[in-house]
Structure 1
Amino acid sequence: MKNKELFQGKNILIVGLAKSGFAAAKLLHSFGANVVVNDKQPREGNQEAEALEKLGVAVECGGHPLTLLDQPIDFIVKNPGIPYQNPLLAEASKRNLPIYTEVEIAGLISEAEIIAITGSNGKTTTTTLIGEMLKNSSKSPIVAGNIGTVFSEVASQATKEDILVAELSSFQLMGTEKFQPRISVFLNLFEAHLDYHGSLEEYGKAKAKVTENQDENDYVIYNADDLQVTELMKHSKAQHIPFSVHKQLKNGAYLKDHSLYFQNQKIIELKEIVLPGKHNLSNILAAAAAAILAGAELEQIQIVLKTFAGVKHRLQYVGEFEGRRFYNDSKATNILATNAALTAFETPVILLAGGLDRGNSFDDLIPSLKNVKILVTFGQTAEKLIEAGKQAGIETIKRADNVEDAVPAAFSLSQAGDVILLSPACASWDQYKTFEQRGDMFINSVHKL
């Protein structure tokens, strides 16, 4: 671990606990920083707050009082999910106080090289693929970030013999200033999280911070089929490594003669790849390019692509019951992800969709609903999705209270040969804490059948 001295004696306010705030507080306290933690949850029953206080960290719970800014503060570390419009953070910005996420801390202290993956969709699949492809290489891969383990916590333990493979959201990247990964990956850009960022332009700028500090010794891998991503990458100083499913690229990853290539080297024939869905070809191209640049062995890449069937909650095959196949795609939290999921099936689909209403319409989903024979909706967006289903010509549409009720409702309307797919096209936060919890509820309901 390096640069610990940068934080010694600094006055740091951490806003929001959860996993990232808790890990950052412990870490910065161990560096000798003067840490104050603020969490909106009540003090009673707050185990993280209790654990930090035992370490000697000051914790204030139950809200975000502006008086916290009256004490000396060098910078703030915020939970990624807390918007900058939060009154405390808005006031901090007025006072020109730097506001970071723990990703900034991770980048400063890590001795290991970093591969950072971002994009609107496919981050988890691509990150997992890269981690698997780098096994048995010269450096040990450690997967972290938005995919599970807190990035700064992992970075504090990593050595030069490791390589960190981190899935990073726009929320996390927005709070960085000097973050410089060795390899960055920008998968795609689609209208999402506009309630947080305000516009697609601001959302794209936040994503593009993954390459903002890279130089000519670094690599940026990006989707040449996405015009918005390509435009944003014009400002990157890193070596450009494009990937495409439509064009053959001398300096990138591409498809030719029913095979996957990287810089004119054949990697694998498409028929040998087991990961389902046409949309996953882009993820595979990006992952292979990153893995090769990071030192992965060709044989290991081939083994992964011949065996890797997907990650939990992303087009996850749950099982078959009375001729119906069930798939959990709870991580499809926007329209693009659900569009991609629907293209993965040629048989009739019964779609379970709905969730948090972010104010968007579902007009862009309508063309993909042509293969949907039955639509079951739930959550805040249920009525909007019903209207989209009607416009798509779906004859059978049913509203359920939640995912647990949607599964038996879908089954009762189905017949042998159907696919029953949870692909919500919405975030989960109206009814569930996380998309993982929503997906687990789907799996549990399928098992109850």
Structure 2
Amino acid sequence: MKRLEDFPYQHALILGLAKSGTAAAKLLLDSDVNVRVNDYKASYDDPVVQELEKAGAEVVLGGHPVSALDGIDVMVKNPGIPYDNSLVAEAEKRNLPVITEVELAAHLHHGPIVGITGSNGKTTTTTLTHEMLKASGKDSRIAGNIGEVSCEVARETTNDQPMVIELSSFQLMGIEKFRPTVAVLLNIYEAHLDYHKTLENYQHAKARLFKNQTDDDYLIYNADDPVIAKFLDDAASVLVPFSAKQELEEGAYADEQYIYYNQSPVMKREDIVLVGEHNMENILAAVAAAKLNGATNEGIQKVLTSFKGVPHRLEFVANIKGRLFYNDSKATNILATSKALGAFKQPVILLAGGLDRGNSFEELVPFLDHVKAMVVFGETADKMTQAAEQAGIAEIKKVDNVGQAAQVAFDLSGEKDVILLSPACASWDQYTTFEERGHMYVQAVHKLK
């Protein structure tokens, strides 16, 4: 596997283990960088900790002592750790670089990189782009926030392999030289304000996606998003728009019959199996990204005539006595849930709630007109109840978790109803990941059979 050859630092502090921290520590150790690991929750009995110690890492657990920064010239931070963490704040006071592991991937992989970000639709677009390239005979690799640690994948790539990377705002805050050859900016809506503190900070974090691009690179952007428009003047790259609402002279768009790239038909719209109008934006962005990396119409058609969605994103779970169960656990904000609700015209029983980030859910109310009942849970259960009452929903039930929610929703439902887990909140109040939350729901649904 590849090692870092041009990494400019020799003494790294890994803040936070989990998957990304562990992968970064192993890479740095293999590259003869001195590594210190600091994690608040990990135990010295943890096999991963013992493995890193055996490989030469110094390990500091149980707190974040300032002394952990002594002798350090770079911090590699777990993306989920906020910048007001005491050790991160101290590192910034000392003018130490604070990066995320995706920056390490940029030092390893010198071939095509497709970097994809947005408030909503990242996972679907990343998966579609990767699959379109594979179906076109390209040896694509997928990585990033989608579950595969970027620097770990980059250790195994060759420079003619495209890497398709899903990127969160958290990851983009920690880049220095990371430069995608094709950047995809899907949309920017209010999200993660508990982390970024202000909407402007969040927007600028997303725009870091293309800060290192040159006129040899491409920026695919949503021509229908007015927030994105104000950042385009800062882009040095070639602009490639996509739109689900208007015809474009260049880029990707759709009318009622076809999807197009540079005004040339790619395939019939009616042959696409992925449900939900919101997914058309994801599809068009993926078509543009895949085309810029050599995908064929045949490869794109093969994917779009078979791809039904990614796990935990409007994932169909089961039909039980005429009730249609969907798992949209990845809907961690109001926008994602509103898009999910818009995918259905029949009555919906909505399962929602989770981590309280301080926002209300008034913006969700206009999308609840065909929701006949709500089952709420988590820290935001009372706020969700208020939104449901404001929308005039008569049946509102509060439960402890998504497992209970599945049973209660079934009891409230009638034939042909959609039972939709789309929480509009992060999972961290009760679950370690949105995947864990989704798996619990899916298991509960299958028990109903």
Cα deviation 1:371-423 (Å, max 9, x = unaligned): 10011100010111111011111111111111111111111111111110000
Cα deviation 1:407-444 (Å, max 9, x = unaligned): 11111111111110000000000011100000001000
1:21 aligns with 2:21: yes
Are the structure 2 counterparts of residues 7 and 257 from structure 1 closer, same or farther at C-alpha, using a change threshold of 3 Å?
closer
Could you tell me how far apart the structure 1 residues matched to 2:178 and 2:285 are?
21
1:285-304 matches, cutoff 5 A: 285-304=284-303
Are the structure 2 counterparts of residues 287 and 42 from structure 1 closer, same or farther at C-alpha, using a change threshold of 3 Å?
closer
Task: Provide the aligned C-alpha RMSD in A.
Answer: 1.3
Instruction: Please say if residues 35 and 56 of structure 2, whose CA atoms lie closer than 8 Å, have aligned partners that are also in contact.
Output: no
Number of the residue aligned with 2:166: 167
Percent identity of equivalent pairs: 56
Number of the residue aligned with 1:58: 58
Number of the residue aligned with 2:181: 182
Are the structure 2 counterparts of residues 124 and 42 from structure 1 closer, same or farther at C-alpha, using a change threshold of 3 Å?
closer
Instruction: Please say if residues 379 and 430 of structure 1, whose CA atoms lie closer than 8 Å, have aligned partners that are also in contact.
Output: yes
1:28-177 matches, cutoff 5 A: 28-70=28-70, 72-137=71-136, 139-177=138-176
Kindly provide the amino acid, as one letter, of the partner of residue 415 in structure 1: G
Determine helix, strand or coil for the equivalent of 1:308: coil
Could you tell me how far apart the structure 2 residues matched to 1:200 and 1:8 are?
33
Normalising by structure 1, report the TM-score.
0.98
Could you tell me how far apart the structure 1 residues matched to 2:249 and 2:62 are?
56
Number of the residue aligned with 1:413: 412
Which residues of structure 2 form unaligned runs of 5+?
A: none
How far apart are residue 22 of structure 1 and its match? Answer: 0.5
Aligned length: 448
Could you tell me how far apart the structure 2 residues matched to 1:110 and 1:417 are?
49
Number of the residue aligned with 2:434: 435
Kindly provide the amino acid, as one letter, of the partner of residue 204 in structure 2: K
Kindly provide the amino acid, as one letter, of the partner of residue 105 in structure 2: A
Cα deviation 1:221-245 (Å, max 9, x = unaligned): 0111111112122211110001111
Could you tell me how far apart the structure 1 residues matched to 2:436 and 2:397 are?
23
Kindly provide the amino acid, as one letter, of the partner of residue 266 in structure 1: P
Could you tell me how far apart the structure 2 residues matched to 1:389 and 1:353 are?
10
Number of the residue aligned with 2:398: 399
Are the structure 2 counterparts of residues 283 and 54 from structure 1 closer, same or farther at C-alpha, using a change threshold of 3 Å?
same
Determine helix, strand or coil for the equivalent of 1:4: coil
Number of the residue aligned with 2:213: 214
Could you tell me how far apart the structure 2 residues matched to 1:345 and 1:7 are?
50
Are the structure 2 counterparts of residues 165 and 9 from structure 1 closer, same or farther at C-alpha, using a change threshold of 3 Å?
closer
Are the structure 2 counterparts of residues 327 and 9 from structure 1 closer, same or farther at C-alpha, using a change threshold of 3 Å?
closer
How far apart are residue 367 of structure 1 and its match? Answer: 0.3
Kindly provide the amino acid, as one letter, of the partner of residue 309 in structure 1: K
Runs of 4 or more off by more than 4 Å in structure 1? none
Which residues of structure 1 form unaligned runs of 5+?
A: none
Could you tell me how far apart the structure 1 residues matched to 2:128 and 2:9 are?
40
Instruction: Please say if residues 39 and 60 of structure 2, whose CA atoms lie closer than 8 Å, have aligned partners that are also in contact.
Output: yes
How far apart are residue 258 of structure 1 and its match? Answer: 2.2
Instruction: Please say if residues 130 and 165 of structure 1, whose CA atoms lie closer than 8 Å, have aligned partners that are also in contact.
Output: yes
Normalising by structure 2, report the TM-score.
0.98
Could you tell me how far apart the structure 1 residues matched to 2:75 and 2:215 are?
31
Cα deviation 1:60-107 (Å, max 9, x = unaligned): 11111111122x222110100001100011011011011000111111
Cα deviation 1:274-316 (Å, max 9, x = unaligned): 0000000000000000000000111010111111000100000
How far apart are residue 47 of structure 1 and its match? Answer: 2.3
Number of the residue aligned with 1:378: 377
Number of the residue aligned with 1:424: 423
Could you tell me how far apart the structure 2 residues matched to 1:3 and 1:215 are?
26
